[in-house]
Structure 1
Amino acid sequence: MAVEAMGDGVRVSFERLPQTASVGITLWRQGQEQEASTVRLEQTPILFPALQEGAVYCVRACTYLDGRPGSAPTDTHCVTIRDHEEPWKKPTAAMVTVVVMAALLFAVFWSVGRCKAEGCHAHFQKEPLPFSLRQPNQPMEQLPYPEQGEICEPITALFLLELT
């Protein structure tokens, strides 16, 4: 019997089995043998998918020939289910995030420190509140540019009436 961890599952295969044999495979999490589950099947290999990562699972098997009682069980084989991600991905992603955030913070603080009063006022002008939003006793603020009056042009309209 060969047992190997594949991704988040366990693969169990046999080198040779008689054609009329069926196999009973018992799988359990290490330390929880009382909660073992047994699967009886006639073809191998078999894959037990979706097991908990980082846990150790143990496997034992018996063969059954033509419905007769099973053979003695095999030795117990235990395997550890590993993360299916590469081990370098998490630290690399964390390091890249730290470097990008440090560069972003440096750029923000550098631009704030370099912003002189005249330059900042040119880019960030304070606009006065519209008349409708002012409180009744609030004084009028001096606008930074002269207000222009509304431009009106006279329009001549010609109406034709037809009488019938």
Structure 2
Amino acid sequence: MKHWLKWRPLQAPCHPISYSVQYQGYFELYIKNGSWEDAPYCQNMDGVVCDLTASLGSDSDYNVRLRAECRGQVSDWASPAAPFNRRETNLTVPKMNAAVSGDSIQVAFTDLTETVDVILKHWRKGLEQEASTQHITMERSPFHLGGLQEGATYCLSAQTALHNNKRSVTTETQCFNIAVSIDPAHSWLKPTVVCVALVIVTGLGLAAFWCVTKCCPTLLNTCWPKEPLPDALLHREADTRLRFAPGEELHELCQPVLVLIPDPV
């Protein structure tokens, strides 16, 4: 909704050349008997662009004219071929900046004016048919979109709107994930749950071992069989000396040795 009047510079040998702009709307034409108003900041200027946004402040038709001046010489007034009405403005999409903050999304729009609003559309991803809309004015920017579900993804789009319901095209959809946060007041919950789970698992393991040892001896003996101890280990006082059965002879094993005596010389 910025309205700029632009023109080509005058091609003349005179220097320096200055320009002045005037406008005439419904009020000037019918209430002030066809008078013209000087456009602010666009008198005796050396540029070729005039900002008429504040001057063309209603939805009425405006006549605009321009003239050049150089060294006391003034040109005739030049005007566009047809009156200008801001309702014919081609609206551009709004500049939207969004960021996640906890379980909410902060949405800000730049370049909002009193005559231009923004229609914000938001929905949970996959449920666009259930989308909600918010009418954002200059006073409500930035806008706080709160109460969102943690772990869910929400999408946003926006379009510029005039008071006469004329709208721009829609911005590209932006989606944001709401992270799951842990309440500091319940920060003890996670370690407590871990400790309780560890105690339960340990108790179940001990109970299972006791059940196996007491209630299932057959299974235990099958897995870890016991062998009887020999008598020598059971009766420590037993005579463990070696005995020979009668009739057995003890033979000594010998090797014959031949002794050689040397002859005298």
Name the TM-score, length of structure 2 as normaliser. 0.34
Bigger radius of gyration, 1 or 2?
2
Residue 13 in 1 paired to residue 139 in 2?
A: no
**Alignment partner of 2:134 out of 39, 48, 52:** 39
Helix, strand or coil: the match of 2:110?
Answer: coil
Match of 1:29 in 2: 124
Deviation at 1:77, TM superposition (A): 0.6
Residue 95 in 1 paired to residue 194 in 2?
A: yes
Structure 1: 4+ residue segments shifted above 6 A? none
Match of 1:82 in 2: 179
Separation in 2, partners of 1:78, 1:24: 17
Separation in 2, partners of 1:60, 1:92: 41
Residue 57 in 1 paired to residue 154 in 2?
A: yes
Helix, strand or coil: the match of 2:126?
Answer: coil
Helix, strand or coil: the match of 1:95?
Answer: helix
Separation in 2, partners of 1:96, 1:6: 32
Separation in 1, partners of 2:191, 2:143: 35
What residue identity is the alignment partner of 1:46?
A: F
The number of aligned residues is 102
Deviation at 1:27, TM superposition (A): 0.5
Per-residue displacement from partner, 1:23-49 (whole Å, max 9, x unpaired)? 110000111111101111212111121
Deviation at 1:65, TM superposition (A): 2.6
Separation in 1, partners of 2:181, 2:195: 21
Separation in 1, partners of 2:142, 2:120: 11
Deviation at 1:97, TM superposition (A): 5.0
Per-residue displacement from partner, 1:44-67 (whole Å, max 9, x unpaired)? 111121111111000001111342
Q: Percent identity?
A: 34
What residue identity is the alignment partner of 1:67?
A: N
Separation in 2, partners of 1:60, 1:51: 17
What residue identity is the alignment partner of 1:3?
A: A
Name the TM-score, length of structure 1 as normaliser. 0.53
Distance 1:41 1:15, change over 3 A: closer
- List alignment gaps of at least 5 residues for structure 2: 1-95, 204-265
Structure 1 segment 74-153 matched on structure 2, within 5 A:
74-85=171-182, 89=187, 91-95=190-194, 97=196
Q: CA RMSD in A?
A: 2.8
Helix, strand or coil: the match of 1:26?
Answer: strand
What residue identity is the alignment partner of 2:128?
A: E
Q: Which has the higher contact order (CA 8 A, sep 6+)?
A: 1
What residue identity is the alignment partner of 2:144?
A: L
Match of 2:82 in 1: none
- List alignment gaps of at least 5 residues for structure 1: 106-164
Separation in 2, partners of 1:37, 1:86: 29
Distance 1:96 1:67, change over 3 A: farther
Separation in 1, partners of 2:110, 2:181: 26
